[in-house]
């Protein structure tokens, strides 16, 4: 085994042991936030679940089953092209939505650049009338850019509804300060604070561990001093 081989071997081993197997998460209640949640923190390390156009294709398959009410955007042709350019655009949209969500939960002014990114996508779509029956017209959403528009528009329309129609006080970042996930609290009582029960338990056991450790340190500190 030469150096080059050894290096690539050790790299692949590292990748296998360090990258946990992660499923896409659909716990936020909103399509746009589920996109934001494709960036996760596991054991203190941040991971991007979108590393290839194939990841985006797999996520979208899952996303439309979790959000059957997703806006149906019609293209002139039907096929989405799973390209690197689509991957890049998805990441830009994701960053823009994360910025605006962060602005909202931290009570900061909304960043213009972030909603300009979303406006550029909204400009890909247009409303049209469609004949549903002999006497009935229904509104439809269409795009001339079917290769990307039929996936980007439903996501950005979800963000559009979230930012303009939803109750802002129900938008939250998970209370676990190590977690970066967002969700929309759809509970009747509006008391949801955590992305998941697992995350709540992890945060509480860490808090417990830290308080026990602090207690021990406090107890041993005078002994060390003497």
Does position 179 bind Zn ion by CB under 5 A? Answer: yes
Pick from 56, 121, 171, 199 the residue near Zn ion by CB under 5 A. Answer: 199
CA distances from 146 to 18, 20, 72, 90 (A): 38, 34, 12, 15
Residue 174 binds Zn ion (CB under 5 A): yes
Whole-angstrom distance, CA of residue 148 vs CA of residue 82: 8
For the beta carbon of residue 154, count every other beta carbon within 10 angstroms.
21
**CA distances, 77 to each of 38, 72, 74 (Å):** 28, 14, 8
- Range in contact with Zn ion (rule: CB under 5 A) among 30-38, 48-56, 198-206, 212-220: 198-206
CB nearer to Zn ion: give 33 or 179: 179
Task: Please report whether residue 28 would count as binding Zn ion according to CB under 5 A.
Answer: no
The piece of 99-107, 144-152, 161-169, 195-203 that touches Zn ion (CB under 5 A) is: 195-203
Specify the residue, 47 or 141, whose C-beta has the smaller distance to Zn ion. Answer: 47
CB-nearer residue toward Zn ion: 92 or 196: 196
Binding segment (CB under 5 A) for Zn ion, from list 6-14, 101-109, 190-198, 213-221: 190-198
Structure-block tokens of residue 180:
């970066």
Rounded distance between C-alpha atoms, residue 194 and residue 175, angstroms = 5
| Residue 178: CB minimum distance to Zn ion, A | 8
Q: Exposure of 118 by Cβ count < 10 A (0-12 exposed, 13-18 middle, 19+ buried)? A: buried
Q: Least distance in Å: CB of 38 to Zn ion?
A: 14
Residue closer to Zn ion (CB basis): 97 or 153: 97
The distance of closest approach from Cβ of residue 88 to Zn ion in the complex, given in angstroms and rounded to an integer, is 27
Strand 45-48 and strand 39-42: the pairing is: antiparallel
Q: Which is nearer to Zn ion, 124 or 179 (CB)?
A: 179
Q: Which two tokens stand for residue 206?
A: 């860490």
User: Cα–Cα distances in Å, from 134 out to 29, 130, 131, 137, 159?
Assistant: 37, 11, 7, 8, 34
Residue 194 CB, shortest distance to Zn ion, in Å, is 6
> Which residues are at the interface with Zn ion (CB under 5 A)?
174, 176, 179, 181, 195, 199
């Amino acid at each position: 085994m030469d150096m080059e081989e050894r290096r690539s071997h050790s790299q692949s081993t590292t990748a296998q042991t360090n990258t946990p197997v992660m499923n896409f998460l659909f716990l936020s209640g909103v399509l746009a936030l589920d996109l934001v949640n494709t960036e996760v923190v596991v054991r203190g390390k941040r991971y991007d679940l979108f590393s290839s156009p194939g990841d985006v294709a797999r996520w979208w398959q899952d996303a439309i089953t979790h959000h059957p009410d997703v806006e149906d955007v019609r293209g002139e042709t039907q096929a989405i092209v799973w390209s690197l350019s689509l991957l890049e655009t998805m990441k830009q949209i994701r960053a823009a939505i994360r910025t605006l969500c962060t602005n909202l939960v931290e009570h900061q002014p909304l960043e213009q650049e972030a909603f300009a990114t979303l406006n550029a996508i909204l400009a890909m779509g247009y409303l049209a009338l469609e004949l549903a029956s002999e006497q009935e017209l229904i509104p439809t959403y269409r795009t001339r850019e079917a290769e990307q528009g039929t996936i980007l528009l439903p996501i950005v329309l979800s963000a559009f509804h979230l930012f303009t129609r939803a109750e802002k006080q129900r938008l939250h970042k998970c209370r676990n300060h190590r977690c970066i996930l967002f969700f929309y609290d759809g509970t009747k009582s509006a008391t949801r604070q955590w992305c998941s029960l697992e995350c709540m338990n992890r945060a509480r056991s860490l808090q417990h561990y830290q308080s026990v450790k602090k207690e021990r340190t406090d107890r041993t500190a005078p002994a060390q001093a003497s």
